[in-house]
Amino acid sequence: MNPVLLKPEGPVDCQVVIHGYPRFRMGARDVGRYRAEAWPAILKSYQVLEENFELIVVEGAGGAAEVNLRDRDVVNWPIAELADAPVLLVGDIDKGGVFAALVGTLELLPDADRKRIKGFLINKFRGEKALLEPGLRFLEHRTGVPVLGVLPFLHKHGIPQEDSAALENVRMEAPLAPVTIGVVHLPRISNYTDFQPLEDEPDVAVNYLSDPSTATALDVLILPGTKSTAADLTWLRSSGWENFLVRHRRNGGWILGICGGYQMLGHRIVDNHRVESERAETIALGLLPVETIFQHEKITDRVTAKHLASGLQINGYEIHAGRVVSETASQAVFRVIERAGVASDCLEGACSEDNRVIGTSIHGVFDCAAFRRRFIDTVRESKGLEALSREMLADAKTGRRLQLDRLANVLEEHVDMTRIAALAGLTGKDP
Is residue 363 annotated as part of the catalytic site, yes or no?
yes
Strands 220-223 and 268-270: unpaired
Q: Phi/psi of residue 168, each to 5°? A: -60, -30
Which long-range contacts does 40-46 make (Cβ < 8 Å, 24+ apart)?
A: 41/3, 41/4, 42/3, 42/4, 42/74, 42/75, 42/79, 43/82, 44/3, 45/1, 45/3, 45/19, 46/79, 46/82, 46/83
Which residues are within 8 A (CB) of 135 and not within 5 positions of it... i.e. 6 or more apart?
Answer: 99
Whether 209 contacts 172, CB under 8 Å: yes
Answer yes or no: are the C-beta atoms of 314 and 368 closer than 8 Å. yes
Q: Are 318 and 263 contacting, i.e. CB atoms less than 8 angstroms apart?
A: no
Q: What share of the chain is helix, strand, coil (3-state, %, to 5)?
A: 35, 30, 35
Identify the active-site residue in 248, 320, 363, 414. 363
Q: Count other C-beta atoms under 10 Å from residue 37's C-beta.
A: 16
Catalytically annotated residue among 259, 307, 320, 351: 259
What SS3 state is found at 253? coil
Crossing angle for the helix pair 133-143 and 98-108, to the nearest 10 degrees: 10
- Catalytic residues, by residue number, are 259, 363
